[in-house]
Structure 1
Amino acid sequence: MSAFLSSRLLRTSAPSSSSLPSLNRSIKHVAKRPHLPKYKQAMHPSAWTKTLDSGALLVYNPPPSAPSDRSTNVLEKAEGALRGPTRKILPSSWKIEEGFGHMAPRIDRRPEGTTPSPRVEIPEEIKKEIRSLREEDPEQWTARALSKKYNIEIYMISEIARAPRAYIKDMKQTRSLIKERLPLKKLLKHEAKQIRKSFW
């Protein structure tokens, strides 16, 4: 009886295989970099490079998702099966420059057959008033204020009456003083902006 009880106790005290932790769950997965291909990314079939007369290198390499200029629609490839005769992609009036045959032609802003809007003529009386106001108080009667008063574009007011030279000189001095008081980071940002403007 005692042998039977001891064997029964040994069976119950031994841990079962189901209670043990599995090895697969205990392994920690470490994050790794994604596998990079050994070959370089293939260029787009429409990619090209050209050296300009100035010596600069012009590179055109669209993303891989961009459609190729050599591929056409399946319906256009079918010779009159569904659409009838294939349509002309470019009209005969468009001329393609030499060396840029695969590029789209230049599109004019103004459509054909339209004439530019006529220039607004300002009477001499209003011109004299604008000049007198501009000379009297250029700080109050700025180009923006005069354009609001007479309902004229700002560039036209600057053509009619420019600001006095003394006023422009004072404005430059005040701007230079403000620029000197700027912190270093803002000063560098301002200089970078001026460099970007020079490339426009």
Structure 2
Amino acid sequence: MRILLIILIISFFSSCKTNKQSFTGSIKFSTQFLPPKKPSKDLTILREMYGDSLLMVYQKNGDYIRKYLNNIDPNIYLQSFDAAIGKVYYKNKKLEVTDSVDVTVNGVELISVKKIDNELIMGYDCDCYEYIAFFSMINQDIILNFCYSSETPYLNPKLYKKHVDFFISDFFEKSNRPYLKFSTETEEFKAIYTATSINTN
């Protein structure tokens, strides 16, 4: 009888954990490009390509849409992630697919990862992680930072297990939350996306 009771208790808590709803909704980010360490690139080009803000839409099945706002370049409009196959599609303003990337394999090689100082974002005390990696495509190290708050809605990391590229799956495994800040730093520039609003469906 005691064994049956223990099994029922374990099953109950496992069921609760499995049925926990993953975040569906959108997060809007401001986009900022900082001057490079080695001046070699006109940041105006990046602003024209990627605009001044970003809308990240999370869907129930793990798919997401990353839409660039107020940009000039018609060929750069949105990226959509297909969670079932682990592929990101790039679309222009006519919503035609212009390219796709297999994100089940990481395109960068990890050098180190560590927790860094917390940041205050939209009034949330956010934990932050820093990944340093070698990006062979540009033959240099890059720095990736992610920040999240445990006060924001739960995000099921299992939905993103096929998004290995750029440590997305690893970060979601650590945080169980959507990121409220993301930055990429190379020798040419630093791109920073900072959340300005979050909406749940």
Q: Mark yes or no: TM-score above 0.5.
A: no
| Higher-Rg member (1/2) | 1
TM-score normalised by length of structure 2: 0.16
Higher normalized helix content (fraction of residues):
1
Higher normalized strand content (fraction of residues):
2
TM-score normalised by length of structure 1: 0.16
